[in-house]
Structure 1
Amino acid sequence: MSHPQLDRRASRRPYLGLLALVLVAGSAVGIATSVAGRSAPGAPSHDTTADGSPLVPVSAGFDDCGAGWASPHGGATTFSVSNSTNGSEDVYLTDAGSGAVYGEVEALAIDATRTLSVVLGDGDYRFVCIPAENDPVPGPDVTIEGAGTPADATPAIQLVTRADLLPAAKQYAAWIAARLPVLAADSRALDSAVASGDLAAARGVWLTAHLEYESLGAAYGAFGDADGAINGTPAPGMSALDDPSLTGFHKVEALLWSGAPAATIAPVTAQLVNDVDALGAAFAESRVNALDVGLRAHEILENAIQFELTGSTDAGSQTNLATIGANVAGTVQALAPLESILSTRYPALPDTKAALARVAALIASYQHPDGSWTPLASLDRPSRAALDAALDQTVELLAPIAAICDPRASAR
């Protein structure tokens, strides 16, 4: 039994709602989501919230979607949205003309009430209620006049649907498919170096092959069990060298850097070749899930911080910094197919791309002219602080992408 990536997939955070005014570079981007908790059905309503903004009770039923918003005005407003249908539903506050969404209440249960806070300017608005397994139910148009556009107005974005994401998923899958033969060739070169007894050369080829695999990070959800066989990590409480069930890159790493003889390593590299070949054959018959692409664009580096930046995956090579570099490259590749979607929905996209370029350059500075890498543990305190800060900032900028690209039903 393998232990894939310290069960990295268990560490991923679900992004079930759109952004709640995510702060990026001092600006609010994204759209508001339900906030301030929930109240019991029939609880008394109040005219204002704790911060003094108006509290507007709104119905969300088949026949009365948006009913209750009788005196619209601009500025900060909190809606108390109540589900009067016989099932759960999503509720959007939209631009009446374009259908762009300012905020949502997701999976509102039967008879439940939740709040939705926004800052609104002049415009035409409409609530849209989407009961489970039913078509959207539009509410009446509501016009706000005389408020202008507040500096902190909640921006609206066009929702991303599965249909929007399919071209991105296909583009990303095509890139992965083109890289898998390279991975296979690298794995065979590693196996040949070990078989010839040239373990010094094998260490260099191991790094090349391992970094190739690590650059494919966004596709690991599509790799299934193959990910554990190829890039698994040891069982809790065991080392890569001692875990008898461990296979793949980290087992080879442990053997190569422990001084094990070629005869001991050869069966493991041969198995790696077989597993990589099996992955290539299986991937040709599978696909990258469209909803995963945006999520992986964020989680590749989130996992790099959790597992590589801590050194927990090192099995002797001390090449975690190189792996982080491959993860950054993989993030860039996962982000590329989403650019047309994000360019009109995420104002911080240029900042995000610039942050990725900066962290890539910083990581590259730790590679020596002979191809070797500075060990993570040897970084001095200022260097480690700069690396931590660069990665944290980049992950923060990437986080909204997962929310923006979380596919939803159209509000039109």
Structure 2
Amino acid sequence: MSTRARLTAFFAALAALVVVASVLAIVLRPAASGAAAPAAFEISAGLDDCGAGWGPTDGGTAAVPGGDQTFTVTNTTVGGIEVYLQAVDSKRVYLDLESLGAGAHATVRASLGAGRYRFVCLPADADPARGPTVVVGAAPPGSALAPGIVPVTRNDLIPVAKAYTAWVAGRLPALQREVAAVAADAEEGDLPAARRDWLTAHTAYETLGGAYDAFGDLGDELDGLPRHGLTGFHLVESQLWHGAPAADVAASAHTLATLVGRLQAQFADAQLDPGEVALRAHEIVEDAIQDGLTGATDAGSGTELAGIDANLSGAAAALAPLHDVLADRYDALAGTQQAVAQAQALVDSFRAADGTWTPLSALDRTARERVDAALSRAAELLAPVAAICDPRRDS
């Protein structure tokens, strides 16, 4: 299983087993020294008692002081449930508890400003239940209020998935031609040209990271980490940079071209999960740090930085169709795009005018740390994108 597949499986299992608080929707922090203790409430989360324990009991409204609130939320149903704390007027979500099991409870804290709020309980197999409206007063001066987010639904993300799928599909024919050029070079005995064309083809493939999950096992055959066995791109790479005969390179390049042809045919019927594009934008950069920047992707060419450069192009391509979804939900969107561009500009500075790249092993400690810091900053800013765009049910 590839690194990406393992990460996907890990996050899926984690979401199924634990209560998850949205990265942006909730403020979890200890009370400041000398600050008043937060108001504490025992909240029921069920079909008939959603939100009970906070606010009115007779159909009216009740004022609750603003600022820090601590909620112990208990699932009173016989199945799993998701719970929102939502602003009635703006529909922004200030708390999102996922996969709260039957009878389970979770204690969380949020800091709320003045407004009207309610709990919304979303059982797996039933319509949402909405709790009573609660009026929250003004928060004390200096309170660090939870920003809240407008939930993103799967319907919001379907156009994103379609646009990104079309972008990937449009790049596969060029990838096929680029791999065929490697095979033709090798058949003519021109291995220097084959090396140049291999890098062009490989970096083109590395821009497609948002679709890797749809590639399945074929993706591992094409570009699995060298330590897991030399196949696809890395088999050709190893042969080109370790003195294999041109005939062997040509044979492997033809096999690679066949794999790319299979990928093109397979992807013609692919339907990306609408929830995956935002997650992949973040994972692409994480993988660049974990694999590319550690040298795990190298099979002899020393072109890890070229791969990282392509990964950053891929992250930007996955982020682009999310712009309209994120524009009014993520204040740091422009900063995130800038961080990805700045990281790419730094990495690109290690490419010479003739198109050759400085090997990762040739970077001194300061340069490595600068690249690591730039990639880490981009990954940090992309993490909330994945959280914001995690599809939520319409309440």
> TM-score if structure 1 supplies the norm length?
0.88
User: How many residues matched?
Assistant: 377
Question: What does residue 47 of structure 1 align with?
Answer: none
Question: What does residue 45 of structure 2 align with?
Answer: 60
The whole-number CA distance in structure 1 between the counterparts of 2:251 and 2:174 is 21
- Kept after mapping to 2: 8 A contact 1:78/1:116: yes
Question: What does residue 309 of structure 2 align with?
Answer: 325
Question: What does residue 343 of structure 2 align with?
Answer: 359
Cα distance change on mapping 1:100 and 1:369 into 2, 3 Å: same
Question: What does residue 311 of structure 1 align with?
Answer: 295
- Kept after mapping to 2: 8 A contact 1:35/1:114: no
Which runs of structure 2 are paired with 1:87-102 in the superposition (5 Å)?
87-102=79-94
Cα distance change on mapping 1:293 and 1:33 into 2, 3 Å: farther
Q: CA deviation at 1:53?
A: 1.5
Cα distance change on mapping 1:150 and 1:170 into 2, 3 Å: farther
Question: What does residue 176 of structure 1 align with?
Answer: 168
Question: What does residue 60 of structure 2 align with?
Answer: none
Question: What does residue 122 of structure 1 align with?
Answer: 114
Q: CA deviation at 1:273?
A: 0.7
3-state SS of the aligned residue for 1:134? coil
1:167 is the counterpart of 2:164: no
Q: CA deviation at 1:69?
A: 1.1
The whole-number CA distance in structure 2 between the counterparts of 1:200 and 1:14 is 42
The whole-number CA distance in structure 2 between the counterparts of 1:150 and 1:19 is 23
Q: What letter corresponds to residue 19 of structure 1 in structure 2? A: S
List alignment gaps of at least 5 residues for structure 1: 21-29, 37-49, 237-242
Q: What letter corresponds to residue 151 of structure 2 in structure 1? A: L
1:290 is the counterpart of 2:274: yes
1:339 is the counterpart of 2:316: no
Q: What letter corresponds to residue 32 of structure 1 in structure 2? A: I
Q: Deviations over 1:81-113 (max 9, x none)?
A: 111122111111000123221002211111122
The whole-number CA distance in structure 1 between the counterparts of 2:190 and 2:285 is 34
The whole-number CA distance in structure 1 between the counterparts of 2:338 and 2:225 is 32
Show structure 1 runs of 4+ deviating over 6 A. Answer: 33-36
Q: What letter corresponds to residue 371 of structure 1 in structure 2? A: G
Match of 2:178 among 162, 186, 190: 186
Match of 2:5 among 3, 9, 17: 9
Match of 1:377 among 361, 365, 381: 361
Q: CA deviation at 1:341?
A: 0.6
Q: Deviations over 1:240-265 (max 9, x none)?
A: xxx5xx32100000000001111111
Q: CA deviation at 1:11?
A: 3.5
The whole-number CA distance in structure 2 between the counterparts of 1:205 and 1:306 is 26
List alignment gaps of at least 5 residues for structure 2: 56-62
- Kept after mapping to 1: 8 A contact 2:165/2:271: yes
3-state SS of the aligned residue for 2:98? strand
- Kept after mapping to 2: 8 A contact 1:18/1:403: no
Match of 1:221 among 213, 222, 225: 213
The whole-number CA distance in structure 2 between the counterparts of 1:296 and 1:57 is 37
Of 143-152 and 215-224, deviating more is: 143-152
Q: Normalized per residue, which structure has more helix?
A: 2
The whole-number CA distance in structure 2 between the counterparts of 1:112 and 1:389 is 40
Q: What letter corresponds to residue 333 of structure 1 in structure 2? A: A
> TM-score if structure 2 supplies the norm length?
0.91
Cα distance change on mapping 1:18 and 1:162 into 2, 3 Å: farther
